[in-house]
Structure 1
Amino acid sequence: MGSSLSHGEWIAAAIVCGLFYLVCDAARFFAQQVSAVTLRRWSGDSDVDRSTRWFNYDARNLQLVSGALLQGSLILAIGATVMAIQPAPIGTATATAALVWLIIAFLWKFALALVPEDIGEILLKHMIPFTHFFYYLFWPVLFPLRQMFARLDEQEQQETEAEEPTQEEVQAFIDVGEEEGILEPSEGKMIHSVVEFGDRVARELMTPRIDVLAFNARGTLDDLARLFSESKYSRIPIYHDSIDSITGIVHIKEVFEAILKKESKSVPELARPPFFVPETKKVSELLREFQSEHIQVAVVVDEFGGTAGMITIEDIVEEIVGDIGDEHEAVEATVVDLGNDEYLVSGLLRVETLEEMLDAHFAGEDYETVAGMIFTTLGRVPKAGTVVTKNGYRFEVDRADRRRIYRVRISRDPEWQEIEEQRA
C-alpha cells in the first residue's frame, strides 16, 4: 500500500494523534467529574480565562467538543498506526493497531480515575482554552448537534418536571455546596432544617406536658403576676381542676395592665380562647394557621383529649434557624462534650440529633428522645446511675426523679470496643 510519507513520519503522526486523543479524553473525563456547582462558580470567577468561564457556564459545549475530537483523533491514531506498521497485511495491521489503542485507552482511563479531584479541576481549566479553539473551528458541524441535544434535554425535562427531588438528593446538593465553599456549614444546616421541616409534627417540637407551666383559673391576679415575674414566659395557660382542662391563655401584658389600672377582673376574664391542635398536626400547616389567625401559642392534645404539651411560634422558628434564646432564659446546654467520646446530654435530646452526633443508629417507633429510648429499653422509670447499652454506646442516667430523666451521660461501650478491635 503506497504512501507519500515515510515509515518514521507515519510513526510520528500516530504519536501526535495519540497524544491528541489522550488530551481530549482527559478533558471529557474531568468535565464529567466536576460538579455543576463548581462549573457555576467558575463562570463567575474573574481569575479564570474568559473561554473557561464560557465553557463551564454551558458544560455541554465542553463535553460535545471533546467527545467529537476524541472520536476523530482515535480514528486518525489507529489509521496512522496501521500505516506505520506496513508492509504487514492490512488485516493484521488494522487488528494490531486497534488492539494497541484499546489497551492504551483502557490504561489511560484507569490512570485518570486515580487523579485527585482538585488536581483534575486544575488540569481541566488549562484544557478548556485548547478545546475552545476547536469549537469555533467545527462550529458548522457542532452547532446542529448541540441544538439536537438541547431539544432532547428539553423533552426529558418536561417528562420529569413533575417529579420532585427526594430529600436525599437535596441533601446531596447541600453537601456539594458545603464542600465547594459556596455554603457555610451553618447555612447548609439551616437549609437541611427547611427540607426536613415539612415532615415535622407538633409532637416533635412541643414543650411536653410535664414542663408546661399553667395556672389555676381560680387564683388571683396577684398570684398570676407573681408567677409571670418568676418565670421566663409571656403567656401562661389557665385551667380548671387539672391541666387537661385548659380554658384559656393569659398574656403578661394584660395581667399587669389590669393590676396597674386597678381593674376588678378575674383571671378567666383576661384569658383568650385556647387554640387546640392534635399531636400529629404538621408543623408547616400549623405555622400557616399561626400566621393567618395571628396566634402565638397552641395547646397540643393527645388522642384521648388530654393535654400533651404546648407549642409556640418560637418553637417552630427555632426548628429552622436554631435556638434564638431569650435574655431571661437560663442557658443550659443540651449537649456537653466531656472529651474522649463522652457526652452529657439532656434527656429531651432528640434521637435523630444523637444519631447525627455519634454517627450511629438508635431510632425506634415508640420514642423520639434519649429519655424515651431509655424508658422503652428498660420498661420502667430508672433511677440515677442506671445503665443501658445500645449499639456500641453506654447510656448512664445522670439525674432523674420518679417521673422523668433530666440528664444522661453517654460513652463508648468497652465490651463493644473490644469486639471491634478483635474484628480489626
Structure 2
Amino acid sequence: MSNVKQFNKNLCAFIDASPTPFHAVEEMRVRLQQAGFSALDERADWQLEPGKSYYLIRNGSSIVAFRCGKTPVHECGWRMVGAHTDSPNLKVKPAPELHRQGYFQLGVEVYGGALLNPWFDRDLGLAGRVNYENASGQLCSTLININRPVGIIPSLAIHLDREANNSRSVNPQRDLPVVLLQSTEPKDFRALLAETLAQQGVSDVAAVLDYELSFYDCQPAAMVGWNEDFIAAARLDNLLSCYIGLDALLTADNSEHTVLVCSDHEEVGSQSAVGAQGPMLESVLRRIAGSETAWQRAIANSMMISADNAHGIHPNFSDKHDGNHGPLLNAGPVIKNNVNQRYATNSETSSLFRRLCASCDVPVQSFVVRSDMACGSTIGPLTAAAIGVKTLDIGVPTFAMHSIRELAGSQDGFNLSKVLAGYYQLKSVVDSDRC
C-alpha cells in the first residue's frame, strides 16, 4: 500500500479517467490485469485454481474480481466488498437534437437523484458507449470520451429572474438542454459522433446505431483546502468506494477467498441484469462453490461489506443530523445504521468492523438519520436479501452528495483501504463462541 499522498494521487487519476461506469470498469480491468488477475468468460467453462485471481465483466459497466483461497471455500467463506460504478448525471436522449434561436442543443434525461442546480455554468465533457455498424456490416461497440468542454447549460441572468436567489427551481425538460454550438443548419447528432470517432481512430464506422452517453464536469479532481484536508471531485459517490475496494483487494494477500463487486445502476434502484438486485454476484459465487451444498456452507461462513458514501455533518446545516450521529470528515469510516433495514448493519457485523478498525489504529464513526427524516439505502440490504449473507453498511463521510462535484476528507479513503485490506485477510468472519 502506498502512503496517503500517493493513494490520493492515484485516486484522483482513477476518477478523472472514469467519467462513466464503462470507463470505471475498464480502468479497474487494466489494474487487475496488471496485478495478475485473469479474465473469465461467463459463456465458457471455468477451471479455477487455489491461490489464483480472476475477474469478469458484464455489460461493460459491472465487474466482479475475486481471489481463490488456499482452503475449500465452503470451510471459510468469502470476504466480500461491494460498491457501485454509477453516479447521478445527465444522459443524452435517443433523439436529442434541438434547434432553437440559432443554437444546437441536446435534450437530456436525469439519471438518478442528481442535485441539479450545480450543473449550470459548468464546462461539460461527454463520454460513454457507442454502438455502430462497421463497413463490413458487423455490430461493434466502443467507448468514447470527449474530455473537453463541448457543452454548457447557461443560467438565466438574475436580471430576468429577480427571485432566483429565493426560489429558483429546475424544470429538467425545459431548463437542462445542453448548448453545443451555434448553427443555422440542422445537425445530426449521430453523424457528429461518427466524425468524432473517426478523429479518435475508429475509422470503420458506417453508421452510429445507438449510444449511452453522459455529460460530465471537465474539471479534474483536486486536493483542496488550506492544508489540503479535502478531495473535491465528480463521482466520489461511489467511485471513491470502488477505488478503495480495489486498492484493498490488490494489497491483501491471496490466502483467503476474497471478492470485490462493483455494480451498475445503484442510483436507480439496482434492478437490472448488472445491478445488485440482479443475479450477477450470486451466479458467480455459485460457480466458484461448485455445488449447492458447498454454496450454502460458504455463504454461512461469509460476510459482505457494502461501501457507499456517508453524509458528513455540514457545518452550515448541522441541524440536518441527529445530534449524536454527525460524522466528521477525516475522522474515520462511518458505520451506517437503520432499524428499518435501509442499511443492512447489525450488531455482529458492526462489532467485527469496530475491532478491525481498532487493529488498524483507524477511528470509526456511526451514522443514523434523524428520526423525522427519510433514510436512503445502498446495495447492502439488496445483497443481503438476495444471497442471505450477513452484511455491514459503511462509507467515507462526504459533503454535497449527488452534486456535480462532491467533497471528502483526504485521510479517509486511505484509512478505509487499510481496514478493508485487513478484512480481506481475516481467517474467519464467524464467531464460533457465544458468551
TM range (shorter): under 0.3
Structure in which a larger fraction of residues adopt strand: 2
Scaled by the length of structure 1, the TM-score of the pair is 0.22
Q: Which has the higher helix share?
A: 1
Please, what TM-score do these two structures have when normalized by structure 2? 0.22
Q: Which has the higher contact order (CA 8 A, sep 6+)?
A: 2
Q: Which has the larger radius of gyration?
A: 1
